[in-house]
Amino acid sequence: MQSPVRRDTRAWRIQVWISFGLAGLLCASGLVALPGADLDRAFMVMGYAFCLTSAFALAKFVRDTEARTDDSPLWRLVVWGGFLLAMGLTGWGLWRMEINPTWKAYLGVSWLYLISSAFTLAKTLRDAWESDRAERECAALDPAAE
């Protein structure tokens, strides 16, 4: 008997991981080769890291509040504020850098690709976790299904 739980295909999971890895590689290569002052490069690395971690935190927060709404308003402010602050400060840093516009475009697109792929990866991982949990619950309710 086939499981009633829907799962992402193996091809999709591979594509998501490759996309996230490629985005990280593009960002890293752009930041390593970034012309200009070391302080600008350090600011951008911190900005990208802040954006990435806050994107994962926001993805988890949004997904968690689908099922329950017991988080405090202050936590909602911290999660959303952290993400918006990270994106805003990183965008501001990129905009004010005195580098060739082509470099800015490359860094900007790779940065947005990283954030987009982080949200997709977070959703894919969470979907897999929820599918595993649902299958365990179905198996516990129907021991004959094993």
Domain presence at residue 114: yes
- In the chain, the amino acid numbered 65 is T
- 58 in Cβ contact with 83 (< 8 Å): yes
Average pLDDT over residues 37-42: 87
Domain presence at residue 48: yes
Q: Residue 51's pLDDT is what?
A: 96
Average pLDDT over residues 45-72: 89
Cα separation values, 61 from 101, 113, 123, Å: 35, 21, 11
* pTM of the predicted protein model: 0.84
Q: Residue 40's pLDDT is what?
A: 86
Which residues lie below 8 Å from residue 90, measured CB to CB, with a gap of 6+? 44, 47, 48, 50, 51, 111
Domain presence at residue 108: yes
Domain presence at residue 67: yes
Domain presence at residue 100: yes
Domain presence at residue 117: yes
Overall number of domains in the chain: 1
Structure token pair of residue 5: 């739980």
Domain presence at residue 29: yes
Q: Residue 45's pLDDT is what?
A: 94
Q: Which residue would you say has higher pLDDT here, 109 or 141?
A: 109
Q: What's the domain range around 49? A: 10-130
Domain presence at residue 142: no
